[in-house]
Amino acid sequence: ELRAGGTDDAGNTQAEDDEAPSGVHCLAMSPRGTHFVTGGEDRTLRVYSHPEGVFEQNVTRFSLPIRACCYSHGGNTIAAAGDDDSIKLIDISDYMVFRDFKAADGFPVVSLAFDPQDELLASVGADGTLHVWDVQSGALKHTERRIAPRVDEDELGEPLGGRNRVAWRGPEGAYLAVPGRDNRGIVVLRRSDFASAFELKGHHSADVSLVSFSPNGMYCATAAFDETVMIWDVAKKEDLARMRLDDAIACGLAWHPEGNALAIIDTTGKYGVWEKPIPEHMSPPTAPLTDADRAKEKELAGLYEFPDDSQGEDAAGAADATAADAEGGA
């Protein structure tokens, strides 16, 4: 069963589709909120209108079940993948497949994420291997073997199979966060060279399954198999808040695009909204970045190069000084 739309005063969903195929493993909402796609056991990627929840058409089929799907940030492309070795990119103007990546590892793909510039696509396999692809050329840009926890074959059909969800830190995509295999936290890689930049760890007692950055990238939400969801201050690498679920594991996280709230759905089918996960005395999760912060993000993302090393050092130092001043005045 699929449920779509908002809720009324009683908390009931506004639209639902009881005739939708069973065994839905993944769902992705378009950036404008007008459509969503689903994939699952019947190997078919479908598109629905939102908030009506009305089926519109079949998009494409795979030879094996679909495990992951996502929209590009511009909303023009859908990526989908699953148990076969194919990652398909679909143009939403005609719903035609225009690129087909071959993971070639022999493991199901369980997670997909476009970077905020829609230049790169990250995928994670059930063996925990990360691939990063160039969307335009189709070239494989980076491979990180077994960086994430392994998903065993018998777990793929369970709700827990939807794990190892990666996330790019916006708005420039300077970092890529991946659930860590050994650290019960997340590993954060630099976009410019995919070297490890830092880790967020030490407060979950089991493997992390999901990671989601706030709209401005200042905060990060993680969900783990210890039945908790945690909020992190990314710059300070400190945890800010924790929510313990009711004998369940979160299988989906989504920040409010305009407010201080985090939507959570768990493996029992319960969903709700964590209001004000960021303390009110702190900068909101949607607050615009300063010019200095944005310049630093672009530098880290490798989106431009300085004419000479001294200018780069001066700009980086100015960004660090601004961040230090802001922290000291908080």
| 3-state per-residue secondary structure call for 254-284 | EECCCCCEEEEEECCCCEEEEECCCCCCCCC
pTM above 0.85, yes or no: no
| Cα–Cα distance measured from residue 194 to residue 175, given in angstroms and rounded to the nearest whole number | 8
Q: Classify strands 196-200 and 186-190 as parallel, antiparallel or unpaired.
A: antiparallel
| Domain assignment present for 248 | yes
**Neighbouring-strand partners of residue 219:** 233
Q: What is the pLDDT at residue 162? A: 57
Query: Do 304 and 265 sit in the same domain of this protein?
Result: no
Q: What is the pLDDT at residue 302? A: 67
| Domain assignment present for 109 | no
Q: How many domains does the chain have?
A: 3
The domain that contains 147 carries what CATH number?
2.130.10.10
Query: Do 19 and 92 sit in the same domain of this protein?
Result: yes
In the predicted model, what is the mean pLDDT of the chain? 85
Query: Do 145 and 276 sit in the same domain of this protein?
Result: yes
Where is the domain boundary, 83, 102, 121? 102
pLDDT band at 103 (very low <50, low <70, confident <90, very high): confident
The domain that contains 3 carries what CATH number?
2.120.10.30
Predicted confidence (pLDDT) at residue 214 exceeds the cutoff of 50: yes
| Domain assignment present for 112 | no
| Domain assignment present for 79 | yes
Query: Do 84 and 176 sit in the same domain of this protein?
Result: no
| Domain assignment present for 127 | no
Higher pLDDT, 192 or 159: 192
Q: What is the pLDDT at residue 322? A: 36
Query: Do 189 and 299 sit in the same domain of this protein?
Result: no
Query: CB within 8 A of 13, min separation 6: which ones?
Result: 3, 4, 5, 6, 7
pLDDT digits (tens, 9 = 90+) for 15-43: 444 455 568 899 999 999 999 999 999 99
Retrieve residue 283's tokens. 């900068």
Q: What is the pLDDT at residue 171? A: 83
Range 65-92 average pLDDT:
96
Query: Do 82 and 95 sit in the same domain of this protein?
Result: yes
Report yes or no: 227 and 248 within 8 Å, Cβ to Cβ: yes
Q: What is the pLDDT at residue 205? A: 94
Alpha carbons within 13 A on the beta-carbon side of 50: 20
Query: Do 54 and 72 sit in the same domain of this protein?
Result: yes
| Domain assignment present for 305 | yes
Query: Do 166 and 96 sit in the same domain of this protein?
Result: no
Query: Do 152 and 240 sit in the same domain of this protein?
Result: yes
Query: Do 159 and 264 sit in the same domain of this protein?
Result: yes
Q: What is the pLDDT at residue 312? A: 38
Query: Do 298 and 281 sit in the same domain of this protein?
Result: no
pLDDT band at 303 (very low <50, low <70, confident <90, very high): low
| Domain assignment present for 121 | no
pLDDT digits (tens, 9 = 90+) for 164-205: 999 999 888 999 999 999 878 999 999 999 999 999 998 999
Residues of the domain holding 297:
291-329
pLDDT band at 275 (very low <50, low <70, confident <90, very high): very high
Q: What is the pLDDT at residue 300? A: 65
| Cα–Cα distance measured from residue 164 to residue 161, given in angstroms and rounded to the nearest whole number | 9
Query: Do 283 and 319 sit in the same domain of this protein?
Result: no
Order of all β-strands in the sheet with 261-266: 250-255, 261-266, 271-275
